[in-house]
């Protein structure tokens, strides 16, 4: 056999081995791609598409920010709808323990949340998602020159407070007690929005409400800060309810509230970070 023939045969053998290796690699790659696609498809199918109504019971002071988050949630999850019941936390808690159908409860104080957890109507441990601080709301321009909590004790002023059973009312009483001040309001209101509305309608000269409510009211009222409010800051807990009709969507809404996006909406409204 000539040298030329032997060299040609070796080239053919090497070429055959290379071709076989390429075919094997191609088959392996194809198998991996198929496996990846299959895994991805399985992962997608394992995350159920959210739908239906999410019913949220929330403290009245959360109205503006939660309404915004509700719209964001519906936009992110087509086919869902978020409905709210805003009011005094104690009233909402009583409704939940009384059997009112709801998915999520966001209270303005741990004390009112305990009404629900104490009856075993919550899932897991409620999480604090924001905090809120009190402020005095006066008529626009502050015509009565209110500059302190002590000024509210003047007999010439018509002052409104939240009811003592409501978180904003309990916080106001705490601040007044710490300051050794006695205040007799013209009325006690069942939630913070009702108290603020008395000033907006000029039925009262001032009200002790949350900073978030003063901010939400815009030019309709003027806010006056007072140092005693630092000793009466309320934590806001949120929880999934035990008999939630739409638990999956409820969990997703709670996740939105606790997310960076949710926190941005809440802090923009004047809430403090937990």
78: CATH: 3.40.190.10
Domain membership flag for residue 101: yes
Residue 155 has pLDDT above 90, yes or no: yes
Tell me, yes or no, whether 61 and 112 share the same domain.
yes
**Span 103-124, average pLDDT:** 97
Tell me, yes or no, whether 143 and 224 share the same domain.
yes
Look at residues 201, 227, 200, 226 and name the one whose alpha carbon lies nearest to residue 214: 200
Q: pTM of the full predicted structure?
A: 0.81
Full domain range(s) for residue 115: 52-131+235-268
List, as residue ranges, the binding site: 61, 89, 192, 210
Tell me, yes or no, whether 141 and 157 share the same domain.
yes
pLDDT tens for residues 71-113? 999 999 999 999 999 999 999 999 999 999 999 999 999 999 9
Burial 178-200 (b: 16+ CB within 10 A, else e): ebeeebebeeebbbbbbbbbbbb
Picking from 10-24, 63-77, 79-93, which range would have the lowest pLDDT averaged per residue?
Answer: 10-24
Domain membership flag for residue 274: no
Tell me, yes or no, whether 254 and 182 share the same domain.
no
List, as residue ranges, the binding site for molybdate: 61, 89, 192, 210
């Amino acid at each position: 056999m000539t040298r030329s023939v032997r060299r040609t045969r070796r080239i053919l053998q090497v070429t055959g081995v290379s071709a076989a290796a390429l075919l094997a690699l191609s088959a392996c790659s194809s198998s991996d791609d198929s496996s990846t696609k299959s895994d991805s498809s399985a992962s997608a199918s394992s995350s159920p598409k959210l739908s239906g109504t999410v019913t949220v019971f929330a403290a009245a002071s959360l109205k503006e920010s939660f309404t915004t988050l509700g719209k964001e949630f519906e936009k992110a999850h087509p086919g869902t709808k978020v409905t709210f019941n805003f009011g005094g936390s104690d009233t909402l808690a009583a409704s939940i323990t009384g059997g009112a159908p709801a998915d999520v409860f966001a209270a303005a104080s741990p004390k009112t949340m305990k009404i629900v957890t104490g009856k075993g109507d919550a899932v897991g441990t409620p999480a604090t998602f924001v905090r809120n601080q009190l402020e005095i709301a006066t008529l626009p321009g502050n015509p009565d020159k209110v500059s302190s909590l002590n000024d509210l004790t003047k007999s010439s002023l018509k002052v409104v407070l939240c009811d003592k059973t409501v978180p904003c009312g309990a916080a106001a009483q705490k601040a007044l007690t710490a300051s050794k001040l006695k205040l007799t309001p013209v009325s006690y209101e069942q939630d913070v929005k009702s108290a603020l509305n008395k000033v907006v309608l000029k039925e009262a000269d001032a009200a002790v409400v949350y900073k978030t409510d003063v901010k939400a009211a815009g030019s309709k009222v003027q806010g006056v800060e007072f140092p005693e409010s630092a000793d009466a800051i309320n934590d806001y807990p949120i929880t999934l309810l035990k008999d939630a009709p739409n638990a999956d969507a409820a969990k997703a809404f709670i996740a939105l509230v606790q997310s960076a996006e949710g926190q941005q909406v809440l802090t923009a409204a004047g809430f403090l970070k937990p």
